[in-house]
Structure 1
């Protein structure tokens, strides 16, 4: 019997997890070559493009029935964040299968979508099926560090590969949130916050640690970091969040006011952790660096701030940040990238929603704004409408949001197979 996409998706994911692509210590080239081999096995030509030695992405194009139609882009990243094996209950790079899950770094972020996409296009190629329109596949490097050696590089230097694409799907969306046995929300990402990763620098005269020293760079920086980290950012309800709440009100039969966050946020269960970060800007201190000896007051101190802004809020956030900087503390950008937002409408959205309902009669698709960032930021600059859609039907007791960059990252096998079936329906109807 010919192997189907559902048959091989687990094996593909296991193999890919076992290729360590921790960014930046383990370049993606081995994974990019593995993807190219899997495509070549079924007659799909691809090319590998490096932005820097070893920092490789694999690009391919699957011919559709009507080449006159604008193609759909499916983009997935190959890199993962590092994992400390001592914190895990399994080897994070063993691709272990147990308890109905595939375990390992990248299982949900986002080698699951790599595997689902590969499994599906391989099955279609083996059976001679064609999508209604061309599909451009992009398996990308460097997403976890902002995409400068991945999507950004390709858009800046090889835009012709994607120039005729009008829509794209990728992470993070199409996953389920169980409200009860009869109702599951499936959040489809239509927007994401922008990124300002900032370095703060403070300077002052050095000195001996045993003496009175009132102009201390470390103290000045610490005071600024405390002000920024504890700042209470005001609630701002975007159009996307309003649509989410409107849909939630319809599903639950409740009268929900988008401005009254406490009335609807608890209904989202584990997803409230992420959605809660999409009603305000956020500025989290993440790194500190100062000094070289216990008894020496250093002349400089630095901190890193992970700042995320809502669509339309970047200027206001930076103005507030500047007001929180202490005297003698300067900021500079490490990574600066746009917010993205599109509507929850059109034939592709209809196809995604219909596919979810066909595979799960309890499905209620809703749009949402994601707190993190994806390679959609790059591809949206080419005029594409970008959606987060890596469909998974999740078990109600799984704390899905905690698995992103967390320990014991894992994805349910039945959820993977569900995702393959949903993607199959979408690509057949898009």
Structure 2
């Protein structure tokens, strides 16, 4: 069986194991995918480490020892959990891994099991070649819940168990719709942070039949929500945003509008992502007040999913919220939930250059455009521990960046067989070059 056929077969089994993470500690059951991978590597020249911080939440690392301890190591961070599905809205079995019209359907097909399978197949093949540098593939649990029982737990409790120096994970290698018909390839060099907030307000309790002259909590939280929705942060002035905009080769007027944070409609299906890439975003997502219809609630709260860019502090965000609240600021308690600074790796250096060289091997002469992810990945833990981390995959020319983004957590999630093949070949090629295999 060829390298790409091996990856496709493994991908289908990983999907079928249905390791659904509903963000509770007893979900996930990534032990099933860990056991699949342990069988996959059973007769390979790799060492294995198994981590289980909670029953069933298993991460497993497979290492090919290099022959030269001074050579650069490479670590592949794949995750094995997937998000839940709304079965009635799928037209294919979400855990059947059916191949239809050149696509493999299933939850996690794109996010990120096709890359995880490519990483595993590459690692098993590299084990036959005695590379100079060491290669580690880590199949991580709990990425969809921000890694508290996966990469985050490993980084905190066993930071030296694997190398974090040079890491690859999801995602990249899709194509920008350049205006003149030429091509450009995406590589992810960083990701926004987290600044989750819960805003509490308090008012008068009482019977629902007598609201006169009471401080109505629901009215206050409604006004708080309205003011929060009116927040309009400034556009980023970073080199990443400017390089991304210029890669589209718009006319000068459109380019200047975008650099000023205007006319996102020009980016078509990438408008929403591009806005998120270039701004701190504030999204009200949860509102709670009351329980019984005949009781005036004395407490209500609003939860905010806030994603800061590199360089934006938690203090900056609290001040932004207070400014938006105006005269209500003294009546609102700001509670911090998950808070993590944005992380960024340089668009240069040995691993970044290996990505550029690999892209050029498959798409000669095509420019590479560094971007920042609006969501999170396990790569942030590598960056915090002093390493570099990049999102890396490879898609066919027809696969635009927006098409790949639309697959994430979608109904009828799928990945093209061609993209599994390309990504597997790209990982194997990069690993050979970088490790001296």
| TM-based fold match above 0.5 | yes
* In 1: Cα distance, 2:73 partner to 2:265 partner: 39
Cα deviation for residue 426 of structure 1 reads 0.8
Displacement of 1:267 after TM fit? 6.8
Deviations 1:261-281 (A, max 9, x none): 557x66755434312211110
1:124 alignment counterpart = 126
> Structure 1 residue 296 and structure 2 residue 295: aligned?
yes
1:105 aligns with 2:107: yes
Cα distance in 2 for residues equivalent to 1:234 and 1:64: 47
1:163-211 Cα offsets, whole Å, 9 max, x none, are: x542211112222234489632211011211111222222233222222
Instruction: Give the deviation of 1:44 after TM superposition.
Output: 2.4
Given candidates 5, 26, 33, the residue that maps to 1:7 is: 5
Q: Distance in 1 between matches of 2:422 and 2:8?
A: 12
| Counterparts of 1:281 and 1:356, CA distance in 2 | 30
Alpha carbons of structure 1 residues 175 and 302: separation in structure 2 relative to 1, 3 Å: same
Check 1:343–1:254 CA distance in 2 against 1; reply closer, same or farther (3 A cut). Answer: farther
Please give the alpha-carbon distance, in whole angstroms, between the structure 2 residues aligned to 1:26 and 1:346: 36
Question: Which residue of 109, 115, 129 corresponds with 2:117?
Answer: 115
Name the CA distance, whole Å, in 1 between partners of 2:55 and 2:298.
36
Matches within 5 A, 1:209-288: 209-212=208-211, 214-249=214-249, 256-257=255-256, 259-262=259-262, 270-288=269-287
The structure 2 residue matched to 1:87, chosen from 86, 89, 92, is 89
Match in the other structure for 1:141: 141
* Contiguous gaps of at least 5 residues in structure 2: none
RMSD of equivalent CA atoms: 2.4
CA contact (8 A) 2:343 2:384 kept: no
Matched, 1:75 2:77: yes
Query: Which residue of structure 2 aligns with residue 161 of structure 1?
Result: 161
Q: In the alignment, is the contact (CA less than 8 A) between 1:359 and 1:421 conserved in 2?
A: no
2:420 to 413, 416, 427: 416
> Is the Cα–Cα contact under 8 Å of residues 28 and 141 in structure 2 kept in the other structure?
no
Return 5+ residue gaps in structure 1 as ranges.
Answer: none
Q: Give the CA deviation at 1:245.
A: 3.5
- TM-superposed CA distance for 1:84, in Å, is 0.7
Instruction: Summarize deviations over 1:55-112 as a string: whole Å, max 9, x none.
Output: 2211121123433223112111112221111122212222121121111111111111
Is 1:321 aligned with 2:324?
Answer: no
How far did 1:45 drift? 2.7
1:208 aligns with 207
Give secondary structure in 2 for the equivalent of 1:102.
strand
Provide the secondary structure at the position in 2 that maps to 1:429.
helix
Conserved in 2, the CA contact under 8 Å of 1:177 and 1:268? no
Normalized against structure 2, the TM-score is what? 0.89
